[in-house]
Amino acid sequence: MRSAVWTTIASAALTCVQALTLDDVCTPSYVSAHLPSDGFYESITINSVSVTANPVTNVSVSDQTFYPDAVFDYCNVTFTYSHVGLNDTVLLTYWLPDPNKFQNRYLSTGGGGYAINSDDESLPGGIIYGAVAGKTDGGFGIFQHNAISTFLVTNGTMDWQNIFMFGYQAIHELGVVGKAFTKTFFNMTEEAKLYSYYQGCSEGGREGWSQVQRFGDEFDGAAIGAPAFRFAFQQVQHLYSNVVEQTENYYPPPCELQKIFNETLLACDALDGRTDGVVSRTDLCSFNYDIDAVIGLNYYCAPAAASAYAAATPEQNGTVSAEGVAVAKKILDGLHDTDGKRVYFSYTTSSSFNDATTVWNETSQEWELSITSLGGSFPEVLLNLQNGSNLPSLDGVTYDTLRDWIYEGWNRYSDTLMTNWPDLTPFKKAGGKVIHFHGESDDSIPTASSVRYFESVRQVMYPGQSYNESVEALNDWYRLFLVPGGAHCSANSAEPNGPWPQTTLAVLIDWVENGDEPVTLNGTVLQGENKGETQQICSWPLRPYWSGNGTEMECQYDQKSIDSWHYDLDAFFMPVY
């Protein structure tokens, strides 16, 4: 029989454990004593002397893209590890919640562009749900480092270790170390369930898929936005608008393209059943609207001073030309080779023509080609092996050159950067869940790129089943959501009334831990007069339509619309997943 004394001691001990504060555990000595033990992961050694730890309190975040407003405390921990035999140094950062707020969760986060992390921007997304949140520098040097400048040992010689780390290995090690560290830090038993998640967009979305495709049991759930995953296609595609301008020999003033874009939004807004400034149905827009209608309309833009991101522009006052519309149409049509075969697809009709931005030459008083560096750096560094930040020129570059660059990059990086492996059987078997979303007005990664991957996974994993059967089976664990009006990895200032899936990690946690399947994805209006309004986002292939004069949003099955998102990339013999 248990004595009253023992009960008292036991409950005192319990109280004591619960009263443990951040300050008690957020010290270098506590962290050093709770690092994963040596040999927990073959081939890496944690450098225990590198540990730093400091509590950070009363942090408040608001108006963020991937998590709601919050106030929180955390323990800021960093340490490094090396690969056995390589003498390299990879820096990890983990934010750990207060022991009383920890909810047996771990979150890995990713980066954007050629950066492998998002500095401190993504980590609060884990802390506010009681998760330890981690990021890595991939061994490339400092956080926010543009990794592409580390991809060569010297001009002409690849640094394959860095490419391999960027491709998938660094994010994998972040998760493996992070999960083991979380368990020891919080004294979890071997058997206790630690839920593990991933959240990232753009390059961070590619990083998420790189794990789901290779390491079936690394994450219980992944929230992935607009992934830059069909890498060679994606990067070279950025140059397509420039090559259209060069081929057509017309360099539109930015204001002319902005006018075409503005008129498209106006003309296509109501086609989705609601006049709200949001083009929720870009498919209906491309069926029903011809941008020829803009030819002859006046455009005007006031002069603008140079900013950190753009050169100065003069006053622009003119009328939309047939040449300008021809350039815009060719861009929207997507890349074809000179035999007329399709190489890739483009942005939706409601996306801005960002890649086509020209630059004003003061001397010649003319608009000139401005090579987009996101596009140009790929052939310059990863194909030509020159350690630059862009191609020096596009002289002699044709549509066929772009096709050949894609092919070369696809072939060369198929096991590192091309992140579109379509068979996700190990992840599915391990019970993983993916929420994949993509803005329908994304001007940096074509929305159709995500649709193509979803459909590839469906076809590869559910052969012989009808379309509806296979979609239903896939949706048990992988869902794709196209966000009406959404821009590239953010809400869109040009379509402020559209929803944005700000709470996706919460929805994912609910799916993984409670089995609540997201039949629609929770969206929030993040700006403008309707800020804070909740709207649901349809699960592909269902398409949004507002009935009842714009009062009731329905998710409809529309075969013609679905078909319009599928492209035959017949410029290649190889299947493009």
Ligand X SMILES: *[C@@H]1O[C@H](CO)[C@@H](O)[C@H](O)[C@H]1NC(C)=O
**Contacts with Ca ion, residue ranges (CB under 5 A):** 269, 272, 274, 276, 278
In the bound state with ligand X, the residue whose beta carbon lies nearer, of 50 and 286, is 50
- Look up residue 346 and give its DSSP letter: -
Determine whether 202 is an active site residue: yes
3 state SS of 454: helix
Q: How far is the CB of 502 from ligand X (least distance, A)?
A: 7
Buried b (16+ CB within 10 A) or exposed e, 109-131: bbbbbbbbbbebbbbbbbbbbbb
What does the per-residue mask of binding to ligand X show for 392-431, with x meaning CB under 6 A?
A: ----------------------------------------
In degrees to the nearest 10, what's the CA dihedral of 312, 317, 320, 321?
Answer: -90
Looking at 8, 45, 52, 103, which residue binds ligand X (CB under 6 A)? 52
Please state, in angstroms and as integers, the Cα–Cα distance from residue 372 to each residue in 240, 310, 323, 476, following that order: 10, 12, 21, 40
Is 558 an active-site residue? no
Q: Mutual orientation of helices 467-475 and 447-461 as an angle, nearest 10°?
A: 100
Extract the tokens encoding 39.
């040999």
According to DSSP, the residues that pair with 224 across neighbouring strands are 200, 436
| Binding test (CB under 6 A) with ligand X, winner from 27, 32, 48, 76 | 76
CB atoms closer than 10 angstroms to residue 285 = 20
In whole angstroms, what is the distance from residue 456 CA to residue 153 CA? 36
- Here the tokens at position 459 are 């076809």
Look at residue 351 and give the partner it binds from ligand X, Ca ion, none, a contact being a CB closer than 5 to 8 Å depending on partner kind. none
State the catalytic residue, choosing from 34, 238, 438, 488. Answer: 488
Whether 566 sits among the annotated catalytic residues: the reply is no
Choices 41-49, 304-312, 329-337, 549-557; region in contact with ligand X by CB under 6 A: 549-557
Q: Which of residues 388 and 426 has its CB atom nearest to ligand X in the complex?
A: 388
Query: End-to-end alpha-carbon separation of the chain, Å?
Result: 66
Catalytic residue among 98, 120, 272, 442: 442
* 557 sits near ligand X (criterion: CB under 6 A): yes
Q: How many angstroms separate the CA atoms of 556 and 545, rounded?
A: 7
Closest listed residue to residue 347, CA positions, set 409, 438, 278, 259: 438
Cα angle value 289/292/295 (rounded, 5°): 135
Residues 6-45 that bind ligand X (CB under 6 A): 20, 25
Residue in 87, 189, 307, 338 binding ligand X, rule: CB under 6 A: 87
**Residues 456-495 vs ligand X: string with x where CB under 6 A?**
------------x---------------------------
* Residue 277 or 314 with smaller CB distance to Ca ion: 277
- Binding residues vs ligand X (CB under 6 A): 20, 25, 52, 54, 56, 58, 60, 76, 78, 87, 99, 149, 152, 154-155, 186-187, 255, 258-259, 262, 275, 299-301, 317, 361, 363-364, 368, 386-388, 468, 503, 506-507, 522, 524, 534, 549-550, 557
